[in-house]
Structure 1
Amino acid sequence: MIKELQEQVHTLIEKALEDIKQASSSQELQDLRVNYTGKKGELTKISKKMKDLDKEEKPQLGQFINQFHTKFNEAFDLKQKQIAQEELQAQLAKETIDVTLPGRIQSQGVRHILTQTREELEDLFLGMGYQIIEGPEVELDTYNFERMNLPRNHPARDMQDTFYISEEVLLRTHTSPVQARTLEQHNFEKDGPLKMVSPGKVFRRDTDDATHSHQFHQMEGLVVAPRITLADLKGTLLQFAKAFFGEEREIRLRPSFFSFTEPSVEVDVSCFKCGGEGCSICKQTGWIEVLGAGIVHPNVLEMSGVDAERYSGFAFGVGIDRVAMLKYNIDDIRHFYQNDLRFLNQFKGGQN
């Protein structure tokens, strides 16, 4: 029986060495170890028959089994190193970066042109000593209209028809309500004169076309102090025009009507395209209308608790969309809201 078992071990080692030689992966190699030397492996089956041998025959079979382990482990370790090297080379080849290809350009975003324009205006007025105050976009009729000297059923309300949430709550039509809210909270005795701008989004039930939108952006300014005159307003707006549109610009004031200012004016700036000679931009007049302004109506001051006998002020409203269109020669306000990168990427020169 010993001869037969020795022959089985000899045959098994030859088969195991050949299988190891043919193995092509680490997993396949591990499977061979289990099949040959595991608890249920081929060698274990032969080892269990040792109990049936005579005492002097057991060492002889043990010697053959040890030879099996020695040859198997040597071949296994050598093949394992070879396969590991091959798998590493295959992985490196798969993950190789072709440095001859051009790199992928990561596009860098920029602030929207309206945001850039708003921040440019904010910086301009901050430099003139103004504070920036924001307010709610969903507003009360009281602040949006009545505090602006527009009582219920006033015909001027028709020009600012808006979106109503209820009879008293609406989407604001201008940023003037922020001025009313600030006036009633400002302590002139303690804090001194008020100089503020209120930028933000406003809404009106308007037809969308090249120059109108149901939503747009405004920045309104307000200065209240003793003895404020129209000359103060003109000086401020002239400084604004020169800083924003160019040092060569001039302005002119034309009489107009706004319920919350008296007197009221439309403000034109000399055409920055033709220098005042007349062109298609200024419709051959040499002037471009840019904003409305005026001396704050005494009723507006009194309704906010400000003594109109002691204090006066001026106010102005700048359409951020409008001045951006003028400055950058944009022909359609809808471009601002269509998220077309072909349009927006033209303004990467602004603040990032």
Structure 2
Amino acid sequence: MTEESIEAHVAQALEAIARAGDLDGLKEVRLAHAGDRSPLALANRAIGGLPGPEKAAAGKLVGQARGRVNQALGRRQQELEAERDERILVEEAMDLTVAPGRRPLGRRHVLTVTAERMADAMVGMGWEIAEGPQVEAEWFNFDALNFDKDHPARQMQDTFFVEPAKAGLVLRTHTSPVQARSLLERGVPLYVAVPGKTFRTDELDATHTPVFHQLEGLAIDEGLTMAHLKGTLDRLAEAMFGAGIVSRLRPAYFPFTEPSAEMDFRCFVCRGEPTATPCRTCGGTGWIEWGGCGMVHHNVLRACGVDPERYQGFAFGMGVERTAMFRHGIADMRELIEGDVRFNAQFGMEI
């Protein structure tokens, strides 16, 4: 254990400490030159075997050497930690003034919201909601509703028949079959609204789709008149398009009602007032056609076991798609079924 060998070990340690480029490298240097198996640690343990007079000089020599190495390790530790902290500030910097990214909220489909709003308006008037099957018996879809055997709607170019055709099953062309089912199941008096999906063999275009939605209403009671029908439709129109809506009934024909009418309401955009350019919503007519209605035909009442001499009723039906298009200014029905999330996003969220 000579002074030259101790100095050589210290010099090697100081050189290794200076070359350490990061904290992990410095840790390896610490183990090699200041750990329990390092040359200076082994030299320190060997002091105990020296003669008494030599122990003090050897202890002082080794102690000073180890002190120099430990001091160098401490200084290099501080330098590398400072460099690491500066690097983190640059590499992991965060701009706390930037708005955080938020997951966009989902939107319920405008048709679902519109149908529920229409149904809620009917419930608010004291009506019940009824449902029925989408694959319907031909008797409920046509016969019970006073459709003649040769009515055009019974042809395959207008109606989807479920094979085999002789099975007498169709995809319902309207929600009116539920009215007949409700009369048979619940009896009278009866006030039911029927929202649901319907099917017809229409080509998909801006104003038609083979799968669409309707809301039908049926009221059967003693003493009902067209005045009750008009009052109900006026209230529903106000719920969907705002207060002050004026409606009118135009004569029409439907197999299941007599008399029958088409229901129009005053345009909620131009209010029927002359404008410099024709109103895009009503085409300048001042009126918007919404749906069909009328007093329930006696044959329908008889088919469902109701005495037409005692009970009278009215029925109406309008398209949910048509209502949504009027409410939100949608020009093309195809937008309702394409599934583009950006389309629904513009309508917000309703519960």
| Distance apart, 1:284 and its partner CA | 6.1
**Range that drifts further, 288-297 or 94-103:** 94-103
In the alignment, the residues of structure 2 paired with residue 304 and residue 37 of structure 1 have an alpha-carbon distance, to the nearest angstrom, of 102
Equivalences for residues 6-21 of structure 1 within 5 A: 7-21=4-18
In the alignment, the residues of structure 1 paired with residue 47 and residue 70 of structure 2 have an alpha-carbon distance, to the nearest angstrom, of 25
In the alignment, the residues of structure 1 paired with residue 237 and residue 60 of structure 2 have an alpha-carbon distance, to the nearest angstrom, of 104
Equivalences for residues 203-242 of structure 1 within 5 A: 203-242=199-238
Corresponding residue SS for 1:325: helix
Residue in 2 that maps onto 1:244? 240
Equivalences for residues 280-299 of structure 1 within 5 A: 282=282, 286-299=286-299
Residue in 1 that maps onto 2:160? 162
Contact 1:241–1:251, Cα closer than 8 Å, also in 2: no
Residue in 1 that maps onto 2:30? 33
Contact 2:192–2:217, Cα closer than 8 Å, also in 1: yes
| Distance apart, 1:210 and its partner CA | 1.6
Corresponding residue SS for 2:6: helix
Aligned-partner residue type, residue 157 of structure 1: R
In the alignment, the residues of structure 1 paired with residue 163 and residue 61 of structure 2 have an alpha-carbon distance, to the nearest angstrom, of 95
Residue in 2 that maps onto 1:351? 350
Residue in 1 that maps onto 2:320? 320
Contact 1:163–1:203, Cα closer than 8 Å, also in 2: no
The two structures have a TM-score, normalised by structure 1, of 0.76
In the alignment, the residues of structure 2 paired with residue 249 and residue 232 of structure 1 have an alpha-carbon distance, to the nearest angstrom, of 15
**Range that drifts further, 197-206 or 158-167:** 158-167
Structure 1 residues 276 and 24: alpha-carbon distance in aligned structure 2, compared to 1, 3 A threshold: same
Aligned-partner residue type, residue 198 of structure 1: V
Structure 1 residues 229 and 37: alpha-carbon distance in aligned structure 2, compared to 1, 3 A threshold: same
| Distance apart, 1:214 and its partner CA | 1.8
Identity among equivalent pairs (%): 40
In the alignment, the residues of structure 1 paired with residue 8 and residue 344 of structure 2 have an alpha-carbon distance, to the nearest angstrom, of 79
| Distance apart, 1:91 and its partner CA | 1.9
Corresponding residue SS for 2:223: coil
Q: 1:95 aligns with which of 92, 96, 111?
A: 92
| Distance apart, 1:247 and its partner CA | 0.9
Q: 1:79 aligns with which of 73, 76, 80?
A: 76
Residue in 2 that maps onto 1:178? 178
**Alignment partner of 1:196 is 2:192:** yes
In the alignment, the residues of structure 2 paired with residue 66 and residue 153 of structure 1 have an alpha-carbon distance, to the nearest angstrom, of 116
What are the Cα deviations for residues 270-306 of structure 1, in whole angstroms up to 9, with x where unaligned? 3445545785655665543210122334554455565
| Distance apart, 1:232 and its partner CA | 1.8
In the alignment, the residues of structure 2 paired with residue 300 and residue 40 of structure 1 have an alpha-carbon distance, to the nearest angstrom, of 104
Residue in 1 that maps onto 2:126? 129
| Distance apart, 1:95 and its partner CA | 2.9
What are the Cα deviations for residues 42-91 of structure 1, in whole angstroms up to 9, with x where unaligned? 5567679x499666578876665555554444443443344334323322
Aligned-partner residue type, residue 118 of structure 2: L
User: Which consecutive unaligned segments of at least 5 residues does structure 2 have?
Assistant: none
What are the Cα deviations for residues 121-177 of structure 1, in whole angstroms up to 9, with x where unaligned? 233222212233444545555544455455877532237413747655654332234
Corresponding residue SS for 1:223: strand
**Range that drifts further, 53-62 or 315-324:** 53-62
Aligned-partner residue type, residue 33 of structure 1: R
In the alignment, the residues of structure 1 paired with residue 107 and residue 178 of structure 2 have an alpha-carbon distance, to the nearest angstrom, of 29
In the alignment, the residues of structure 1 paired with residue 237 and residue 202 of structure 2 have an alpha-carbon distance, to the nearest angstrom, of 28
User: Which consecutive unaligned segments of at least 5 residues does structure 1 have?
Assistant: none
Contact 1:122–1:132, Cα closer than 8 Å, also in 2: yes
Corresponding residue SS for 1:228: coil
**Range that drifts further, 118-127 or 39-48:** 39-48
Contact 1:149–1:300, Cα closer than 8 Å, also in 2: yes
| Distance apart, 1:212 and its partner CA | 0.5
Structure 1 residues 91 and 272: alpha-carbon distance in aligned structure 2, compared to 1, 3 A threshold: same
Structure 1 residues 249 and 42: alpha-carbon distance in aligned structure 2, compared to 1, 3 A threshold: farther
Structure 1 residues 69 and 185: alpha-carbon distance in aligned structure 2, compared to 1, 3 A threshold: farther
Aligned-partner residue type, residue 174 of structure 1: H
Q: May I ask how many residue pairs the two structures share in their alignment?
A: 342
In the alignment, the residues of structure 2 paired with residue 277 and residue 75 of structure 1 have an alpha-carbon distance, to the nearest angstrom, of 93
Corresponding residue SS for 2:204: coil
| Distance apart, 1:229 and its partner CA | 2.8
Root-mean-square deviation (CA), in Å? Answer: 4.0
Structure 1 residues 271 and 16: alpha-carbon distance in aligned structure 2, compared to 1, 3 A threshold: same
Contact 1:20–1:29, Cα closer than 8 Å, also in 2: yes
Equivalences for residues 245-284 of structure 1 within 5 A: 245=241, 246-258=243-255, 260-276=256-272, 282=282
